[in-house]
Structure 1
Amino acid sequence: MTLETKKSVFVELGKFLSQFSENGSEKKSGVLHNEIFFEDFEKLIHLSQSHNGWYTPEQVYFAVQSWAEALTEENITKWISQYTFSDNDSEKTVALILAGNIPLVGFHDFLCVLITGNKALVKTSSNDQHLLPFLAKYIIAINAAFADKITFVEGKLENFDAVIATGSNNTSRYFEYYFRDKPSIIRKNRNSAAILTGKETHEELEALGEDIFRYFGLGCRNVSKLFVPKDYSFDNFFHAVFKYQDVIHYEKYANNYDYNKAVFLMSNFKLTDNGFLTLKEDASYASPISSVFYEYYENLEELQKRLSDDSEQIQCIVSANLTSNSIAFGETQKPQLWDYADNVDTITFLLTTK
């Protein structure tokens, strides 16, 4: 299968996904196999919350739309043009151990394996067992040659040449030992942070709320830590994120808010609270659901060095161009195809692994 053929399949997948929206899905003419897949995928989106309580239709629609925007011919061409592909490379079977914290979080690894001409041996998370297999069926319907390149397994992974595994810091140690004889990418816990100066506009702070609350804060690209200057007032921040107040009406989030707030208060921690989000001064990057940690800084250069030293704990840095690799407010959950998790180039790994 040529690279152009593979690219065309994922462009068609992008067209299919573009039909689904929280504001009203619309079946479009010219989209392949709509008669078979459209209604079933719409049903699956609404059933996802019964499979995973955090996968509300709103969050699943957002993930689907994000992938629809990424999987355009222009984006895929720009992405793969950075690499030298060879149709003569030996095919590898790559085991994928996927996370399930947010909808379709493992799709990028899945895409990378297939676009490089390899076979994907996929072990989905128990929290996300339905969305990716459905999309795999759609891909195979477009081009049956993919049927021999995609396998989903429930038990032990066997007969593979390389592995990409995502888990916690604890499971990563197990992965590193278990897969020690295989070429691998092992991903651990990471969190994202934002740097504020006090000069942010209302619109920027409102967009920061998207970085905090999208997927209820469960993603590694969600902002869980704020760095603010001395004497920073959170009034403008709280005013801007008030638009996300409805998050407290979702029971699972509300339960986490009540529990974590109670734990903090019983420990006599000082909190700033607006009724659906708590702010706690803390040096850690990983805050619990419904809470964001913050830390004061005095010198931006020293902070930049701190963030560089802590790079292995950080997925994204959000700011108004205060660091060389910062992401604009509101954009953390819309990564491009060339934005790799943990800054590890998955395509290069797959093309150079023997």
Structure 2
Amino acid sequence: MLQIEKKKCFIALGQFLSQFSLHDTQKNKTVLFNDLFYDDFVQLIEISQSHNGWFTPEQVYHAIQSWAHALTEPNLDQWLSKYEWTNVEPKTVGLILAGNIPLVGFHDFLSVLISGHKVLVKTSSNDQYLIKFLAKYLISMYPEFENYITFTEGKLENFDAVIATGSNNTARYFEYYFKEKPSIIRKNRNSVAVLNGGETHEELQALGEDIFRYFGLGCRNVSKLFVPKEYDFQPFFKAIFSFGEHIHYEKYANNYDYNKAVFLMSNFKLLDNEFLILKEDKSYASPIASLFYEYYENLDEVQKQLEQDADQIQCVVSKNLIPHSIPFGKTQQPELWEYADGVDTIDFLIKL
């Protein structure tokens, strides 16, 4: 398949996805293969929560809209234009996908196909239906994709390279098991925000999106704040008030109650607004419904710490306080060229 043909297929997929949103799902008669896929995709979105209790319609629609915005011709051109494609020899690339948020493995899936390789996919049991549906759409649009896309429920076999995502424990297994193959092995990471007290109400509201989107389950979700000594948390609590609806969702509420009880039994000092627990802690990975914070005396110390712990950090959010940080509200809207763990997936793939 020529890359231009594959690119057209993903642009069409983006147009298909653009029809589906939480409050304004509308069928566009110009979208290809709507007669075969539109109604079934609406139904799949609505039942996704039965497959994974965290995949509420709101969260699934958000993931779909994120991909609809990403899969446009200008975005694909900007992403792919810097690479040299002439010497790519098609290989079979195994993917072991995570399932913590909807379509979390789709970027790897897209990268393998757009680079000219075949993809052998082992999905997570927590997110196995959405990506298979999109694969069927791509195959219907361009039947040759059927020779490039394979899903497996067993162990990966007959592949040339692998991209695997898991916990720190499973990563050690992956590193051993795939030691003879070219690989990208992804481990646990977390995201942080650095504040100085000068943030506006709107910026702190946007930070709430970084914290609460997907219930905080993603590696791009902010799980820790760095704040100056004597920081006043009241403006922060006021700004995130609208996210209080999360506490009415049973799985989130159960985690809130459990983690609060554990913290209190350990006599930790907590800040609490009845739907989010703030705990002073030097760790990066806070449990669901909680957020760690750490005081700092100067920003140079924070920057040095984040550089030292770069292998644990996915994103840094700030108002230009830290070099290369992301604006508030943008962690769950990555561009195609913003790679997980800072590893250039396309560069890895075209050099196989």
Specify the TM-score bucket, using the shorter chain as the normaliser.
Answer: over 0.9
Partner-residue secondary structure (3-state), 1:125: coil
Structure 2 counterparts to residues 252-331 of structure 1, below 5 A = 252-331=251-330
Structure-2 residue corresponding to 1:73: 73
Partner-residue secondary structure (3-state), 2:283: coil
Structure-1 residue corresponding to 2:340: 341
Instruction: Encode CA deviations 1:199-239: one digit per residue, 9 max, x unaligned.
Output: 00000000000000000000000000000000001000000
Structure 2 counterparts to residues 1-354 of structure 1, below 5 A = 1-86=1-86, 89-353=88-352
CA distance in 2, matches of 1:322, 1:109: 31
Letter in 1 for 2:49: Q
Letter in 1 for 2:167: S
Cα shift at 1:185: 0.2
CA distance in 1, matches of 2:41, 2:29: 17
CA distance in 2, matches of 1:296, 1:11: 45
Q: Which sections of structure 1, spanning at least 5 residues, go unmatched?
A: none
CA distance in 1, matches of 2:88, 2:110: 18
Instruction: Encode CA deviations 1:178-206: one digit per residue, 9 max, x unaligned.
Output: 00000000000000000000000000000
Cα shift at 1:321: 1.0
Instruction: Encode CA deviations 1:234-282: one digit per residue, 9 max, x unaligned.
Output: 0000000001000000000000000000000001011000000000000
Instruction: Encode CA deviations 1:138-161: one digit per residue, 9 max, x unaligned.
Output: 000110010000000001110000
Report the identity percentage: 70
CA distance in 2, matches of 1:47, 1:217: 21
Q: Which sections of structure 2, spanning at least 5 residues, go unmatched?
A: none
CA distance in 2, matches of 1:280, 1:139: 46
Letter in 2 for 1:235: Q
Partners of 2:88 and 2:351 within 8 A in 1: no
CA distance in 2, matches of 1:323, 1:200: 14
CA distance in 1, matches of 2:212, 2:271: 17
Letter in 1 for 2:307: S
Tell me how large the CA RMSD over aligned residues is. 0.6
Cα shift at 1:285: 0.3
Instruction: Encode CA deviations 1:67-91: one digit per residue, 9 max, x unaligned.
Output: 00000001001100010112x5321
Cα shift at 1:24: 2.5
Partners of 2:101 and 2:218 within 8 A in 1: yes
Cα shift at 1:322: 1.3
CA distance in 2, matches of 1:254, 1:299: 36
Instruction: Encode CA deviations 1:86-127: one digit per residue, 9 max, x unaligned.
Output: 2x5321100000000000000000000000010000000010
Letter in 2 for 1:111: L
Partner-residue secondary structure (3-state), 1:326: coil
Cα shift at 1:29: 1.8
Q: How many residues align?
A: 352
